Structures are given as C-alpha cells and as structure tokens.
Structure 1
Amino acid sequence: MTADQDGSGTAAGGEPELSDSLKTFGAVLKALREAGGLTQEELADRVRYSAAYVAKIEQGKRFPPEALPGRAEETLGLVAGKVLAAAAKSLRRKAGLASWFLQWAGIEEEAITLYAYECRGIPGLLQPEGYIRAVFDRRLPPLSEQQFEQQVAARLERQELLAARPNTSFSFLVEQAVLERQLGGPQVTSALVDNLLAHGRRRNVEILVMPLKQHDHSGIDGQMYLAETSSNSWFGYVEGHDSSTLMADPKVVSAMLQRYGKMRSQALSHEATVGLLKQIQGAL
C-alpha cells in the first residue's frame, strides 16, 4: 500500500499481496528452520530480527532483508544459506510494486531511526481511526465493506510500532495545509489533533508542523520517508499514484537526509507546533 495514503501495493482485500515467489521463499525458510529444530522465536534471536518479523517473512507478507541469508547460514548451515541467497536473488528479479512495499514495511519494522515528511496527508503511523476511515472511504475504485474494514485494521495494527519500539527515534514533518484541510470534517480533525498531541508527548516521537507560509522550504520535491537499520544503513522511500520506489544508493539517500535535516530547521519548533495544534483545535 502507499506507506500512508492510498493503499497501493496491497491486494484488493486489504492485505499485502502474497506473490508466489514471496510465499515460496517463506515456505523454504520455514522448512529450513524446522529441519534445524528451531522455533520462530529461536531463529529470530539468532538472526537478530524480531519474532514477528520472521513470522511475516515465513507467511510471505514481508520481503526478506538482504542480510537474512548470511545470518541464517550461521545458524542453519552453509547449504541453507546458499538456498536462501538464491531464492532472495530470484525475488529481487521478480519484485514488483507490492514487493517494494513489503520490503519497505520490513525496513520500517526493524528501523532504529525513522523520518517521514508528508505534504499530502497525515502519516499513516499517526492517523486515528476516524481519519483512517475518512481516507479509505474516499478510495477510488471504491472498496467493498470487507476490504474497507481489512484496510482499517491493517493500518491500526501497523501503528503499534510507535509503542512496540521505544528505542526507535521517530520524526514526522507534516504540512500545516494537511491539517487545515479537515479531511473527514471538524470532529475527525479534532480527534486527529488530540492524537498528534498525545503521540508528540512520547519520548521517542517528534512531530513538527511546516507552517502554511514558509518562504524558505526545502521540500519542493515532495513526500519522502527515510529509515536507518540496525547496521546503520539508510534507505529512502517515496510513493505516487499506484507506484513506489525504494532508494538504497548512498548518494541519493544522503541528498534526502540533507533535505530532511534542512526542513527540520525550517519547521515550527516543538513548542510552536503544540501551540498551533491547540489553536487549530480551538477553532474547530
């Protein structure tokens, strides 16, 4: 799906597309793990990923990280490592839109630093349920009732990252215009502001608003996401209409980091952001 807005990269039913290649990779990993006499939790501990992440890879719901075959080889043996490496190369050759999103979702789940700049809507990790429903209610082509509820549930589940990863540093830059739009109406916007204020009090979460009038603005190229992995590698991610791109080229990601850093200095301070949010809420 789009990381935060229109659901590209998910199947019609709201769950991430389960391509045959991803499901096959997951089945191979599971078979190798079971042959080694390990539980998911035991394998996760040895390959240094979370048990939930390993479970999703085995289910074909997450794109396997590049380091997985090498780490698995240390635990499951040389042959297992070679099998997984070959399967992973095949996945990358066949990767489509959904696979790109699944790979980013995996990076996001394991990130030690996550940055997000949005100029189109509120980042998905910060959307209260009313706002989520307003987003998917306006989805075109329209969703069935079952698809709609599955999309809402999937996004709410994804938001558990903020509480589940207290040692991950989250930073969100949001345009004031997105708040002033009042998507879903005043009541939804009031609940949204409450949610932003609540998350902004978390020790690991920074929420800054870019003022409506800002003559010095480095975000002219639009929305972007950045994540730092446990190996201190950085990745960038952007999305458009039914398309998405993951950036791993250090030069490209470095430029994105420079833009994000500049925008943090151009946005309102934490105190000013809180003041603006309360002002917006008071005017509803």
Structure 2
Amino acid sequence: MARYKAPTTRLRRLALQLRQLREETGLSHQQVANETGLVASTLFRLETAKTKPQLRTLRTLCDLYRTSPERREELEALLRAASEETWLQPTAEYLPGPYAAYIGFEREASALHNFEPSFVPGLLQTEAYARAVIAGSAPKASPEEVDGRVAARLKRQELLTQQEPLTLDAVIDEAVLHRLVGGKAAMRTQVEYLREASRRPNIRLQVIPYETGAHPGMHGSFAILRFEEAQDVVYIESSTNDLFLESQEDIGRYSLMFTDLQELALGPEATDALLAKVLEED
C-alpha cells in the first residue's frame, strides 16, 4: 500500500484564504490563470485543498492579489505547517487512505462527537479490544497490517490526555457492551476502562439502552469533527466507501441527529450505573 500523507486543517485554511483573496479582488479563476500562467483547474484544486501550492505559486498569487506583508507571512507559515510530516507516517502504509485522512483531521480538531452502534469508539478502545476489532473486521489483513493499525489507534488516544485534550462526546448503543469482542476477559477489561475514561472531564460517554427501541442512529456510525479555525467535518466510515461531508446542510443534519441521540441516551451517571451492571452480570 502506498504511503499516504494525511491532509491537515492548515491546508484547508490556506485554501480558504486563497479563495477569499481572489474573491476580494473580483477576479475569476480564468482571469487569474491568464495573469499568472496557472491552469484554471489547478487554481480550483488549490482553493479546495485538493492540491498543496508550491511556495513560488503562493508568492505569485500573493503578488497578484496585492497581499499585505503580514498576511503573506501568515499564508507562508500555513504552507510550511501543511508540509510537515504527521505522527502517523511510520504506520501510514497500513492505513486506508480515507482513514489516514480522518486521523489527520482528528489531531487538529478541538472536539469530536462520535456515535457508534456496533463498536466501542476507537479513542476509547483497549489494545486487546482494538486488536480483536481490527482482525475481525479485516480478516485478510496480514499480522503486520493489524499491528500497524492497532499502533495507530492507540497513538490516537493520546489526544485525550495531552496538555490541551480533545473534548470527546460519545454515544454508543447498548449492544456494544454485550458483543464479546475478543472474549469475556477482553470485554470485561474494556468495560472497566470505559468507566475509568468517562470520569475524565473532557470525556462524556452515554449509552442508548435497549428499551429505547428504534432510534436515528441505527443506520450507522458517524463522527463530527469540530475545529476552532476551520469548517467542521462529518466522517462516515463504511466497508465500501468512506465519506467526508463538509456542506453546512450535512453538518447541520448530523449535528441535529447527534443531539437527538444524546437526548435518547442515558445520562453520564445512569450510563456508569449500566456499565457497572454489565460487569456484575459477567
């Protein structure tokens, strides 16, 4: 599998600013192309973060847009930051492209809203549970691929304990607690860890109990990544086609769905009581 360089929100911010600068000057893509020699389609890719500009291209555009020295310096700093290697490079060869992209976004998010109907959220998985999930859901993966994906998943969890930790709001279906992923011992350790992790101030865990019946999340899992200086992103993972949704309509729709799921779920204290009950019944 080819190495995959995960995009960052810095690149998305740079793309947004380039588009804003062009629009402020009143120039069309074709007009900019005529003035700079760039292909109009290349300019479009630069403004949608599909392609990272070279430094000389960025400077050419700044000259055309008559960008102030201060803003030019900011844009060049964003370009340098977007070019940095990410922590996942050592394991990137074992990660599907969209998943690597998700990890890149996740590391720069300030908050994550995650709904999971079948699995414990990746950020809250123990190593044994993660290994069982990855091996079970990708039965043709080699031991090296499984090891690489487990290592990447565990590395992600540092986001919850770093100096300025990610805020995680997670909702899971009760079925997650009763599926014996990795066997009884592994599940017991996993549920105990959920109780421990959910006591951290930056983590809110809720469970939708069986008696709720049908609910909006039954169609599948999703994650909403919140950013302080960039547009939010909805990530939907599936066995055939992972999706990144960035339109305001989609973000609003999934945000409303997540709020509905939180209202249907048990509160944090009742969730902890349910986790304790699951352990007692084991």
Q: 1:146 to 1:232 in 2, by over 3 A?
A: closer
- Corresponding residue for residue 235 of structure 2: 237
Where does the alignment leave 5 or more consecutive residues of structure 1 unmatched?
Answer: 1-10, 12-16, 20-59, 89-96
Q: Secondary structure at the match of 1:220?
A: helix
SS where residue 115 of structure 1 aligns?
strand
Aligned to 1:133: 131
Deviation at 1:172, TM superposition (A): 0.5
1:159-214 per-position Cα deviation (integer Å, ceiling 9, x unaligned): 11111264432100011001111211211111001111111011100011111121
Aligned match of 1:264: 262
Q: Distance in 1 between matches of 2:233 and 2:208?
A: 23
The CA deviation at 1:261 is 0.5
Instruction: After TM superposition, give the deviation of residue 78 of structure 1 in Å.
Output: 6.7
On the 8 A contact 1:113/1:227 being kept in 2, the answer is yes
Supply the distance in 2 between the matched residues of 1:260 and 1:115 (Cα, whole angstroms).
7
Which moved further from structure 2: 164-173 or 116-125?
Answer: 164-173
Contact map agreement 2:103 2:156 (CA 8 A) in 1: no
**Cα distance in structure 2, aligned partners of 1:202 and 1:103:** 27
Q: Give the aligned residue type for 1:101.
A: Y
CA distance in 1, matches of 2:257, 2:228: 22
For 1:44, the equivalent position in structure 2 comes to: none
User: Are 2:12 and 2:230, in contact at CA under 8 Å, matched by a contact in 1?
Assistant: no
Kept in 1: contact 2:112–2:224 (CA 8 A): yes
Please say if 1:79 is aligned against 2:56.
Answer: yes
Q: Residue 18 of structure 1 aligns with which residue?
A: 3
Amino acid across the alignment from 2:12: E
State how far apart, in whole Å, the 1-side matches of 2:206 and 2:189 are: 18
Residue 175 (structure 2) aligns with: 177
Residue 190 of structure 2 aligns to a residue in which SS? Answer: helix
Equivalence for 2:116 = 118
Q: Contact between 1:70 and 1:81, CA under 8 Å: does it hold in 2?
A: no
* Residue equivalent to 2:107: 109
* Alignment size in residue pairs: 216
CA contact (8 A) 2:159 2:166 kept: no
For residues 58 and 186 of structure 2, the distance between their equivalents in structure 1, rounded to whole angstroms, comes to 49
Q: Give the Cα–Cα distance (whole angstroms) in 1 for the partners of residues 97 and 151 of structure 2.
A: 21
Instruction: Identify which of 7, 21, 33 aligns with 1:63.
Output: 7
User: Equivalents in 2 of 1:177, 1:149: separation in Å?
Assistant: 27
- Normalised to the residue count of structure 1, the TM-score between the two structures is 0.68
Any conservation in 2 of the 1:115–1:226 contact (CA below 8 Å)? yes
| Mapped contact 1:173–1:209 kept (Cα < 8 A) | yes
Match of 2:152 in 1: 154
Normalising by structure 2, report the TM-score: 0.68
List gaps (5 residues or longer) in structure 2.
19-52, 61-75, 83-94
**1-side partners of 2:273 and 2:258: how far apart?**
22
Q: Which amino acid in 2 is paired with 1:63?
A: P
Whether the 8 Å contact between 1:166 and 1:204 is mirrored in structure 2 is no
Task: Name the CA distance, whole Å, in 1 between partners of 2:15 and 2:246.
Answer: 19
Deviation of 1:268 after TM superposition, in Å, equals: 0.4
Counterpart of 1:179 in 2: which secondary structure? helix
Q: Sort the Cα spacing of 1:139 and 1:261 in 2 relative to 1 into closer, same or farther, 3 A.
A: closer
Task: Find the residue that maps to 1:110 and give its secondary structure.
Answer: coil
SS at match of 2:7: coil
In 2 relative to 1, CA 212–184 (structure 1 residues): closer, same or farther, beyond 3 Å? same
Computing the radius of gyration from Cα coordinates, the structure with the larger value is 2
